[in-house]
């Protein structure tokens, strides 16, 4: 079984800007440079046959370059406890269409997808359970004016993910030009 997802990688200048914000919050496990991406679709564990079928379906997605912008920061969590810090992505119809096409490609490849609303974001950190909520709120307030210039998107990738005690390791398996 292979754990797969599709994502947009970020150019080095955007990554450098984000890395400068990854500080000042005890309990945050900041994501490394190579892990900073915008997920399009998470497929989970799939067979090698499904992975091959998915790769072929993704290659059929119609082309078309577009731009995205990062805007604001926030946190996801449950039961009044934040678990993830993220940078937001400005609403973008072309991005939503691409994410929908990645999901449809999975369905054509026989991969069942979770029924989840697409919320584009870039994960900056995972938070330890004891991270102080007031410190999280202060970090968000201090960085919430994030607004990147337009980021040109001319490709997306199919990535594998290996989970370890030190976090997830991502490997680009295939790249698809737009």
Q: Which among 80, 121, 143, 147 is annotated as catalytic?
A: 121
Say how many C-beta atoms besides its own lie within 10 A of residue 131's C-beta: 22
37 is catalytic: yes
What span, in angstroms and rounded, lies between the C-alpha atoms of 61 and 101? Answer: 7
Please report which helix (H) or strand (E) contains residue 77, including its range.
Answer: strand 70-78
Which residues are CB-contacts of 41 (< 8 A; sequence separation ≥ 6)?
5, 6, 99, 102, 103, 106, 113
What span, in angstroms and rounded, lies between the C-alpha atoms of 66 and 115? Answer: 26
Q: Which residues are catalytic?
A: 37, 121
């Amino acid at each position: 079984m292979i754990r797969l997802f599709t994502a947009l990688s970020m150019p080095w200048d955007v990554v450098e800007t984000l890395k400068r914000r990854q500080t000042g919050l005890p309990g945050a496990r900041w994501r490394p440079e190579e892990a900073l991406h915008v997920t399009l679709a998470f497929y989970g564990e799939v067979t090698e046959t499904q992975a091959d079928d998915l790769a072929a379906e993704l290659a059929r997605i119609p082309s078309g370059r577009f731009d995205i912008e990062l805007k604001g920061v926030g946190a996801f969590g449950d039961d009044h406890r934040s678990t993830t810090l993220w940078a937001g992505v400005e609403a973008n119809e072309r991005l939503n269409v691409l994410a929908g096409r990645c999901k449809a490609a999975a369905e054509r490849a026989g991969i069942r997808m979770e029924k989840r609303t697409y919320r584009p974001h870039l994960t900056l950190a995972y938070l330890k359970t004891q991270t102080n909520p007031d410190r999280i709120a202060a970090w968000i307030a201090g960085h919430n004016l994030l607004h990147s210039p337009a980021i040109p998107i001319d490709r997306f990738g199919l990535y594998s993910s290996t989970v370890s005690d030190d976090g997830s390791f991502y490997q680009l398996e295939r790249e698809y030009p737009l």
